[in-house]
Amino acid sequence: MTDTDAPAISWPRLEARLAELARIGDTGDGGCSRLALTDADREGRDLVVSWMRELGLRVDVDGIGNVVGTWPADATEAPVLTGSHIDTVRTGGRYDGNLGVLAGLEAVETIITSGLELARPVAVAFFTGEEGSRFAPDMFGSLVYVGGLPLEEALDTVAVDGAVVGDELERIGYVGPLPCPARPPAAFVELHIEQGPVLEAEGDTIGAVTGVQGISWQEVTVTGQSNHAGTTPMDHRHDPAYVAAALAVFVRELADEAGPPQVATVGRVELHPNLVNVVPARATFTVDLRHTDDDALRAAEEAFAARADALAATEGVTVERRSLARFAPVEFDAGMVDRVERTARARGHSVRRMPSGAGHDAQMLARVCPTAMVFTPSVDGISHNPDEHTLPADLEAGAGVLFDVLVQLATEDDPWSDGAGPA
């Protein structure tokens, strides 16, 4: 078989599926809103499952609603798995997560239509609640999939809108019979947009992702004394809004002082009673700290806690901190990362080895099997935004690299002979 005769993905088919899925939850400004386990999420799930079934895949659903489509349908061996998620943030774009699922589906379809003989099965998955926008932590479904969160505890999780995960899974019809944790796959490869500016700024087409930086999410509640905004002297106030604002500034200063790759964000702030002429009684906000080194991440957490306690004492308020999620940095399998880089270069693409600043399902799968990620550039580094965009040529390039890596892992008798694989 010549290079021109080699199987290749169909970009028009992948592009059409991306567009069709993007219509579900369309926000009218180019974006998508499909929060996990909502009606829009159910509609998106039903669409992707229909495509899996049209291809003859065996569709399995587990107790937390993760969906896996396997080829051949009667396969019992551990598959080479790809995929991502199809839930979005409220102001999401059309590629975050969706690209990895639908490019994986396209890769499996190309394997089927090409009649490739496999040494092991291939499968494509989408995991429940990766974004963490409706219920925490993020990477929710894949965490349960690998045994990092007990199923019973996950089902009892309460969403920000008061809904319970187990009830919502029942409501949308995605409680499956497969157990959690699942049997580990032979390997996992995830394609994703970078969601940052590095690849585009450096002129590289493919990112060979070396790992995922550590993530610490906290919810902070500051309780003070509600009072009249006009009659309460400044030196008599116990103002939680002031403490919250000072801590938000400190979070930025902390990241600036530490320097890259430390990042820190206050993403949500709520005041009660939230009135123009009332000193608030309570301020609730979130803090997102990330670093590639776990010791540095812990140092940032400790510095934030110390500043919060000091401000609480000065202002006469109380500060309570609740962990929403805490994941240590993850390093991907070295041989798998090498494979991604070699494969991309063989296709003529420029490649950059890089860590991921965002969390991904791949960091959970890395606990149980050889794992790698493929990044494609994000225009202007924008994501979690309706303006999220990746050029079609870059989307096609990433899907092509994913296809080649999956074929290698699924057809080679010993794909880990070069050192990739479990330690």
Binding site residue list for Zn(2+): 85, 96, 131, 192, 384
Instruction: Evaluate whether 25 touches 40 at the Cβ level (below 8 Å).
Output: yes
| Angle between helices 98-114 and 392-411 in degrees, nearest 10 | 50
Instruction: Evaluate whether 189 touches 371 at the Cβ level (below 8 Å).
Output: yes
Separation CA 166–CA 85 (nearest Å)? 19
Nearest to 211 by CA among 423, 359, 82: 359
Instruction: Evaluate whether 52 touches 125 at the Cβ level (below 8 Å).
Output: no
| DSSP 8-state assignment for residue 203 | T
| Complete DSSP assignment for 164-217 | BHHHHHHHHT---SB-SSPPPPSEEEEEEE--SSHHHHHT-SEEEEEEE-EEEE
Here the tokens at position 365 are 């799968």
Phi and psi angles of residue 59, each rounded to the nearest 5 degrees, phi first: -100, 120
Instruction: Evaluate whether 327 touches 166 at the Cβ level (below 8 Å).
Output: no
Burial group, residue 313, by CB count within 10 angstroms (0-12, 13-18, 19+): exposed
Report the amino acid identity of residue 43. E
Residues annotated in the binding site, as ranges? Answer: 85, 96, 131, 192, 384
Separation CA 304–CA 218 (nearest Å)? 11
Here the tokens at position 49 are 């499952």
